[in-house]
Structure 1
Amino acid sequence: MKNALRAALLLAVLGFLSLHKLLAQAPTAVSDRPLDLSLQQAIDYAIKNKSSLLATRLNEQTARAKVGEIKSAGLPQVNVAANVADNFKLQKSLVDFGALGGGGSATTLTAKDIAAAENGQTVNLGTVALPSEPVPPQAFAFGLQWAGNTSASVSQLLFDGSYLIGLKAAKVYEQLAQKQTQQAEIDVVEQVSKAYYSTLVARARLGLLARNVQRLDTVLYQTNETFKAGFAEKLDVQRLQVQRNNLLVEQQKAQRLTELSVALLKFQMGLPQNQGVQLTDSLGAAVVDAGELRQRLGVASTSTGGGVTGLGSVPTGTAPSGTTDAQRQQDQQTALSGARTGQLAAVFNYNNRIEFSTLETQQALAGLDLANRRAGAYPRLLATAAYGFSGSAKNPGDLFAFRGPDSRSANGFPNQNWFGFGNVGLSLQIPVFDGFRRKYQVQQARIQQQSIEKGFETLRQSIDLQDAQSRTTLINALDVLDNQRANLDLAADVARVSRIKFQEGVGSNLEVVTAETSLREAQTNYYAAIYDVLVAKVDRDKATGELYSRTRN
C-alpha cells in the first residue's frame, strides 16, 4: 500500500513539472504593443486562429483518420488470444460400452495373482464368462478441471467489392471535409471583412465628430465674446451650448460604438480582447470606385461615388458609349428579375461557389454509396492461418508447468500436458439471401442520389437569386453613396455660409445651429452609405464566389 502511494505521488510530481515546463515554453498570447493590422493581415490571422475554424479543421483531420481506417481493412489482420478456464463441474457424456460387444469372455486378475506377481512369480491369468446382456450406457467426463489455450491467427483480405469501392469513397470523403473547411474559411473572411470595415467607419466618424466639436467650440467662443461686447444675445450663447452638449453626448456614444466594433473585430479574428490593435488600412483606400463597379456589373452610369475631405474622392468614371437612363433602368430591372446580362452570363461559373462544389462532392459520395450497396452481393474471399497450443491439468500448478512432448513421469511414461495445433486455408463467403435487406438499402441509396440531383436545381436558383440581390444591393448602395456625398457637400456649404453670415451680423444664431445639425446628419448618412457599399461589396464577392479566391491570392 505504501509503495503504491509513493508511486502515485511520484507520478503527480512528474506531471506537474512537465506541465510547468510546457507553460514556461509557451509563447505569450498577448503583446504589450498594439498589433498593426491591415485587412489582409486580419483575415490571415483569423484563418489561422479562429476557434470555430480550428474545430472545422479537426473534422478534416478526422476525415483523414477515417480514410486510414478504411484502408486498414485491406491489410493483414493479426490476432493473439489466450484463455484459462476452471471447469469446476466437468460436463459428462454417455458412452455405450455395450456396443463393443457382450456375452463373451474376459481375463480375471485376483489378489493372489497380484501378490505372486509382486514376488516375481509367473502368474497365469484365468478367464470368466461375461453376461450375455449388454452393459447400459455409462456417463464419463472427458477432460480435466483446468484447461488453457493460446493461439495466433492471421487473415488477409483477397477480394471484397465493398472494400474497393470504399477506397474510392474515402478519397471523396476527404475532399468533402476539405471543402467544408473552405466554406468555413469563406464565412470567416466575410465576418472579418465586415467587422474591419465597421471599425474603419466608426473610427473615421469619431474623428469627424471631434473636429465638429472643435469647430463648434470656436463658434461658441466667438459668440460668447460677442455677447460680452453687447452685440449678441444670451439666447444665442445658450443655443450653442445646448448644441455642444448634444454633440458631446453623440461623441461619447460614437466612442463606445467604436470600442464595440473593435471588440467585434477581435472576436471575429479569434484575437484576445486585451490585445491592442492598430488598423493600417485607410477608409479612403477601402471606398470602392463606383464607376468601375457599375461597369463590371453591366450597369451604365455616368456618376461615381465619392469620399469626404481627407479620405480621398473616388475617381470619376467614364460613361460607356450609347448608355442612357433608360438603359440603366433596364439593367436594374434585369438584376431584380434574376437574369444576367450577356457578358456576365458568359463568364459566371457555378463552380466558383463552394456550395455548388460541395454538392457535387456529395453527389459523388451518394453514387459510391449506391455502388457499395450493390457490391454487397459479391463474394468475399480471405486467406486464413492459425497456430497455437492447448493444455489441461487437474490443478493450476500442473497446468502452468508447460510440459512438452519430451516430458516424462517418474516411471518413464510420457507426461505431456500442452499440445500444438495449426491450420491454413481459404474462407469464401457468398451472400445468398438476406431477407431483401440489401434491396432496400439500394433503394435508399438511389433515392438519396436523386434527392441530391434535385438539390442542384434548387441551389442554382438560390445562387441566381443571391447574384441578383447582391448586384442590386450594391448598385443601390453606390447610388445612395453618390446622393449622400452630394448632400454632404451641400450641407457643408450651407453650414459654412451660415457661420460667415452670423459672424458678419447678417445671419441668426438659430440658422447656424440648424445648419450644423443638418451637417452632422449628412455626415452620419454619408458614413453609413460608405459602410453599406463596403458590406455590399463583400456580399457581392461572396455571391460570385470571388471572396475566397481574392483572399487566397
Structure 2
Amino acid sequence: MKSLYYLLLFSLVVPLRVTAQTQSDEKTSFTLDESISYALTNAVAVKNARVDSQISESKVKETTGIGLPQINGSVALQHNPKLPRFYSKYTAGQPSIIDLSQIPGIENGDVVAFQNVFQLPSNGTAGITVNQLLFSRSYLVGLKAADTYKDLAYKTEEQTQIQVVEMVTKAYYAVLVNNERIALFDDNIARVDTLLRNTTEMNKNGFSEAIDVDRIQVSLNNLKTDRLKFVNSQNLSLALLKFQMNYPMEKELTVVGNLDELRVNENLFNEYQDGWDYKNRIEYKLLDTQRKLQELDIKNKYSNSLPSLSGYLNMGYGTQSPTIGGLFKTESKIANTAEFGPDRWYPYTAFGVTLNVPIFTGLQHTYQIQQSKLALLKLQNNYNSLKQSIDLSIEQNTLLYKNSLETLKSQQDNMRLADKVARVTKIKYEQGVGSNIEVTDAENSLKQAQINYYNALYDVIVAKIDLDKAYAKLDPSKYATAQPAK
C-alpha cells in the first residue's frame, strides 16, 4: 500500500517540477547580439529566404539531372477481340504472300481483305528505355544559369537578413531607451515625493501655504501619469521586439544592457569612406547577379537554334497469345518441333542516336532574343539609378546623423542645466529664500529636458543604424554564433 502511495506521489510531483522548470526557462534575457541571432534563426522572412535557397539548390540538381541517363520501364498487356484485317491488291503474275489467284471470282486489280495471320489477339511487352543527352549547347548554358540562380537566392537571403538586423536593432534600442526613461521617472517621482512630504511638514508648522502642497501634488500626479504612459509604451516596444524576433508573444522577454555601453563616434564618416565601393551594397550584388542571369538567358536562346545529339537504347521482352491468360503461361511449342520452349517471352533490343537540327521556327527565336536583349538593356540602365539612389541615401543619412549628434549634445547640456536648476531651486525653497512655483517649474523643465534628451538619443541610434545600412556595414554573418542567454 505504501509503495502505491509513493508511486502516486511521484507521478504528481515530477510533472509539477518539470512544469515549474519549463516556466522558469521561459524567462529569457537577451543582449543585442543574442536578439539578432535569435531573429536570424527564427524570423519567418529569414526562414522563407532560407527555404528559397534550398529550392535553388534543388533547381541546380534538377538541371544537372537533365544530362544524366533517363531510364523508363514499362509493362503493357493488350487484348484485341477483333484483329484488324490485312489488305492486298491482286495483280496477276505478281508474287504474293497468299496465292490470291485461287480465290473464286477474283479479278486482276481487286482488293482482298483477309484475316490477320501474323498477330494473335493478345500481346504483352515488358522493357526499359534509356535516353542519354550527348550534346546540347542549351544544356551547358542551363548549368551556368542554375548556379547563378542559386547565387541570386543566397544574395536574396542575405538581403532579408540585413533587414532583420536593422529592424531588431531599432526595436531593441527602443526598449532600452524606454527602460532608461522609466528609471528616470522613478528618480524624479522619488525626489518630488520627498519634496511633497517636506512641504507638507512645513505647511503643518506654518512655514508654507496649502497651495504650495497642492502644486507639488499636481507635479507628482503628472509624473506618475507620464510614467504609466511610458510603461504602456514599453509593453508595446517589447511586443514589437518579440514580433521582429518571432519570439512567442506569451513568454516573458527582458533585454540586457544599458545605454552607457553606447559609443557615439563623430569620426564615423571618415572610417566609412575608406575602401567604400558600390559593390558592397547587397542591392548592387543582386542587380549584378540579375544581369548575369539575363546574359545567360540570351545565350540560351541562341543555343536553342543549334543542333543537339542524343542516344537511346530500347530493350525488353514481348509475347503474343490467343487469350489474355495465355500470356502468363510458361510453355509454348517451338516451330517445327514437338518440344516446348522454356517460356513464351522473347527478348528484343534496339539502339541508336538522334540528331535534332532546328531549321525554321517562324522567327520566334529571333524575337525572343530581341526581347531578352531589351530586358538586359533595362537592367544596365538600373545601374545608374541604383548608384544615384545609394549616393542619395548616404548623403541623407549622413546629414541626419550629424544633425542628430548636434541635437543630442544640445539636449544633454539642457538636461544637465535643468538638473542643476532643479537642485538649486529646491535648496533655496527649503531654506526659505525661494518660491514653490519656481520649484514646480524647475521640475517640469527637468522632466521635459530628460524626455527631449532620450528622444534625441534614440534619433542618434536610428540615424547610426541607417548610416550603417547605407555604407553596407550591417553584417548578418557576425551574429551566426551568438546564442540567447537564460
State the alpha-carbon separation in 2 of the partners of residues 519 and 512 from structure 1: 11
CA distance in 2, matches of 1:129, 1:545: 95
One of 389, 395, 411 as aligned partner of 2:317: 389
With over 3 angstroms needed to count, the CA separation of the structure-2 counterparts of 1:233 and 1:146, relative to structure 1, is: same
8 Å contact 1:144–1:393 — kept in the other structure?
yes
Report the CA distance shift for 1:344/1:539 in structure 2 as closer, same or farther (over 3 A): closer
Give the TM-score, by structure 1 length. 0.77
Name the % identity.
36
Given that residues 408 and 414 in structure 1 are in contact (C-alpha distance below 8 angstroms), is that contact kept between their aligned partners in structure 2?
A: no
| RMSD, matched Cα | 2.7
Distance 1:384 1:236, change over 3 A: same
1:395 is paired with a residue whose SS is: coil
The CA distance in 2 between the partners of 1:411 and 1:239, in whole Å, is 128
Match in the other structure for 1:41 = 34
Residue ranges of structure 2 left out of the alignment (5+ in a row)? 1-20, 481-486
Q: CA deviation at 1:95?
A: 2.1
Contact kept in structure 2, 1:381 and 1:426, CA below 8 Å? yes
TM-superposed CA distance for 1:134, in Å, is: 3.9
Closer, same or farther in 2 for the Cα pair 1:506/1:129, shift >3 Å?
closer
Contact conserved, 1:46 with 1:269, CA < 8 A, in 2? yes
> Could you say which residue in structure 1 is the equivalent of 2:68?
75
2:457 matched to 1:530?
A: yes
Structure with higher Rg: it is 1
Note if contact 1:407-1:416 (Cα within 8 Å) is conserved in structure 2: no
CA-CA distance at 1:278 after TM superposition? 3.4
1:324-403 mapped onto 2 (5 Å cutoff): 347-401=275-329, 403=331
Is 2:60 the counterpart of 1:62?
no
Deviations 1:48-95 (A, max 9, x none): 121220111000000000000000011111111121223244333422
Task: Please name the residue that 1:437 is paired with.
Answer: 364
* Cα distance in structure 2, aligned partners of 1:33 and 1:139: 88
1:203 alignment partner in structure 2: 179
Q: Once the 2 structures are TM-superposed, how far is the Cα of residue 355 of structure 1 from its aligned partner?
A: 0.6
Q: Give the C-alpha shift of residue 448 in structure 1.
A: 1.4
Kept after mapping to 1: 8 A contact 2:331/2:340: no
Q: 1:465 aligned to 2:376?
A: no
- From 296, 304, 308, the counterpart of 2:268: 296
Amino acid at match of 1:140: F
Aligned to 2:128: 152
Q: Which amino acid aligns with 2:253?
A: V
> Shift in Å at residue 151 of structure 1?
1.8
CA displacement at 1:433 relative to structure 2: 0.8
Question: Contact between 2:75 and 2:126, CA under 8 Å: does it hold in 1?
Answer: yes
Deviation at 1:199, TM superposition (A): 0.7
Counterpart Cα distance in 1 of 2:122 and 2:24 = 70
Counterpart amino acid of 1:363? R
- Matched residue of 2:178: which SS? helix
Aligned counterpart, 1:32 = 25
State the SS of the aligned residue for 1:505. Answer: coil
Once residues 47 and 132 of structure 2 are traced to their aligned partners in structure 1, the CA distance between those partners, rounded to angstroms, is 38
Distance 2:408 2:23 in 1: 39
Following superposition, the deviation at residue 551 of structure 1 comes to 3.9
**More off after superposition, 43-52 vs 481-490:** 43-52
Q: Give the TM-score, by structure 2 length.
A: 0.87
Q: Does 1:180 align with 2:124?
A: no
Residues 30, 272 of structure 1: 8 Å contact kept: no
- Partner residue in 2 for 1:91: 84
Q: Which has the higher contact order (CA 8 A, sep 6+)?
A: 2
2:468 maps to which residue? 541
Q: How many residues align?
A: 453
Candidates 132, 154, 166, aligned match of 1:190 = 166
What whole-Å deviation, never above 9, does each CA across 1:15-65 have from its counterpart, x for those lacking one?
xxxxxxxxxxxxx99753632322111111211121220111000000000
Q: Tell me what 1:219 maps to.
A: 195
Deviation (angstroms), 1:101: 6.1
Match of 1:257 among 199, 224, 233: 233
User: CA 1:212–1:416 in 2, change beyond 3 Å: closer, same or farther?
Assistant: closer
| Residue 245 (structure 1) aligns with | 221
Tell me the residue number matched to 1:137. Answer: 111
- Residue identity matched to 2:268: R
- Please, which runs of 5 or more residues in structure 1 have no aligned partner? 1-27, 107-127, 299-342
1:505–1:417 distance in 2 versus 1, CA, 3 Å: same
Compute the displacement of 1:499 (Å). Answer: 1.2
Report the equivalent of 1:166: 142
Match of 2:440 in 1: 513
Range with greater deviation from structure 2 (93-102 or 504-513)? 93-102
How far is 1:490 from its partner? 1.8
> Which has the higher mean CA deviation after the structures are superposed, 270-279 or 363-372?
270-279
